[in-house]
Amino acid sequence: MDRRRLVPGGALAGALVVVIAGCAAGAPHYSLDETRACLAERPGVRVVESVDFVASTAPAGAFTARLVDNQVTISFGNDADEAERIAQAYRRFRGRNIGIDDVLRPDGNAVLLWKAHPENDELAIVNDCLT
């Protein structure tokens, strides 16, 4: 067996592992407790524990934040893959007449489901608290 052929393949495999790990590490990871605490301190926001069925199955928990003219349910996975599975469940269980992509926002390990299309100020309040 020619050793020169093994070294480049091994180096390539090692580099591939580093690239894959770097991609996973680049996804934001948010904390349910820190996000909930931040939103609870915002004027006009009320945090409640009641959530819908899909959010109730979120591996890292979920809560609902009621803003003045809207509300958002934030579900947390342990990683971005789990968050994507939560988002897929929302897409699967949505009503036929609901345009889910307008109100569903996966972000890192969190999934935000708005009651209505969020306004820029509503997005800013929630995004500022995702920590």
- Write phi, then psi, for 114 (nearest 5 degrees): -85, 150
Looking at the chain, the whole-number percentage of residues with pLDDT higher than 70 is 80
Confidence tier at 94 by pLDDT (50, 70, 90): confident
Q: Cα–Cα distance between 112 and 73 in angstroms, integer?
A: 6
Residue 114 included in any domain:
yes
- Write phi, then psi, for 71 (nearest 5 degrees): -150, 155
Q: Cα–Cα distance between 47 and 40 in angstroms, integer?
A: 6
Residue 89 included in any domain:
yes
Listed ranges 7-11, 20-24, 86-90; the one with the highest mean pLDDT: 86-90
Residue 46 included in any domain:
yes
Predicted confidence at residue 99, as pLDDT, reads: 79
Query: Residue 111: which domain range?
Result: 32-129
Q: Cα–Cα distance between 75 and 69 in angstroms, integer?
A: 20
Residue 12 included in any domain:
no
Nearest residue to 47 via CA among 72, 29, 30: 72
Please state the domain count of the chain.
1
Q: pTM of the prediction?
A: 0.79
| Side chain identity at residue 19, one-letter code | V
Residue 47 included in any domain:
yes
Confidence tier at 27 by pLDDT (50, 70, 90): confident
Instruction: Enumerate the β-bridge partners of residue 106.
Output: 111
